[in-house]
Structure 1
Amino acid sequence: MQNTPYCIVTTTVADIDQASRLARAIVEAGLGACVQIDSVRSIYRWEGRVCDEPECRLTIKTREQRYDALARFIAERHPYQSPEIVRLDLTDGSAAYLRWIDEQTAVPPEGSAET
C-alpha cells in the first residue's frame, strides 16, 4: 500500500480554550486544512505517578511537506513540557477532500510575506 502525500497530526491540551486557540492558529497559519477537537480521557505515567486527566485532542489534516513546520508551530505554542505531536500517514482518501487539503495548506511562494 502506497501512502499519499497527506498526514494526520494529533496533539492534546488540557482544555477547550487551549484547544480552540491552537486549532485556530494552525488553520490561520495554513499549516492545517482542518482541526477537529474531541474531549478525551488520558491515563498516563508522568514523573513516577499514574495520572488520569480530561484533555482535548486536536486532529489536524495536512500535507507531509507541512509536517515539520506544523510540529515546530505546535511545540512553540504548546503549554505542556513534553507535548504529544504524532504524525499518521494517510494511505488513501477521497480525491475531492485531498484536493481541498492541498488548497488549504498550499506552501506560499519563495519570498512572499508568509515565508
Structure 2
Amino acid sequence: MADHGGTAEADTGGAPPEGPAARYLQVQTTTDSRAEAVELGRDAVQARLAACAQVTGPVLSSYWWEGDLERAEEWTLLLKLPAARYQELADFLARRHSYDEPEIVATPIVAGSAAYLSWMEEVTQPQ
C-alpha cells in the first residue's frame, strides 16, 4: 500500500475461485497517481492480459501500514478478463506496481451479456 519503492514481489494469491460463476473476473488495484493507473491499465490491455481497463478516482483510502493508520488519495484501476488470465495479470501488476504491497483483488463476474463475455475471450487471446 503506502511504500512506493517499486520493488513489489507480492504473493499474488494463486488461482482465482473456481466454478461457473468464476469464468470471468474484475480485478482491482489502487495507485497513488492517475498516471500510474492509466499506464498499468493500458499496458495490461496491450499485453492482452485484460480486455478492458477503467480508471476512477480519486478515492480516499484508509488503511493500516507499518503500525500507523494512514489516509491517502488514490486512483482505482478496474480490469475485466477471463479467469484463465488472472495469474498472468496478477504477476504483471505485482511486478510493475509502485507499491510494495499492492492491492490485487479479484471479484467474479457472475452475469454479463453473452456478446461482451465472448468479446473478452477474443481480445485476451495470447498473440
TM-score scaled to structure 2, two decimals? 0.81
The amino acid across from 2:29 in the alignment is T
> 2 CA distance for matches of 1:107 and 1:99?
15
> Aligned-pair distance for 1:107?
3.3
Deviations 1:4-49 (A, max 9, x none): 5111100011011111111111010000110110111111111111
| Matched ranges for 1:35-50 at <5 A | 35-39=53-57, 40-50=59-69
Q: Does 1:10 align with 2:28?
A: yes
* Structure 1 residue aligned with 2:103: 84
- 2:14 aligned partner: none
The answer on whether the counterparts of 1:27 and 1:33 sit within 8 Å (CA) in structure 2 is yes
Sequence identity percentage: 41
| Distance in 1 separating the partners of 2:103 and 2:123 | 24
Asked if 1:27 is matched to 2:58, the reply is no
Q: How far apart are the structure 2 equivalents of 1:106 and 1:8? A: 17
- Partners of 2:22 and 2:36 in 1: CA distance: 30
Relative contact order higher in (CA < 8 Å, ≥ 6 apart): 2
RMSD: 1.3
Asked if the contact 1:26–1:70 (Cα under 8 Å) also holds between the matched residues in 2, the reply is yes
**Matches of residues 89-104 of structure 1 in structure 2 within 5 Å?**
89-104=108-123
Q: Give a deviation string over 1:49-99, Cα, whole Å, max 9, x none.
A: 111111011010001100000000000000000000001111111111111
- The amino acid across from 2:53 in the alignment is V
Q: Distance in 1 between matches of 2:126 and 2:23?
A: 14
In 2, Cα distance between the equivalents of 1:27 and 1:89?
19
Equivalent in the alignment of 1:64: 83
Equivalent residue letter for 1:30: R
- Structure 2: any 5+ residue segments left out of the alignment? 1-18
Aligned residues: 108
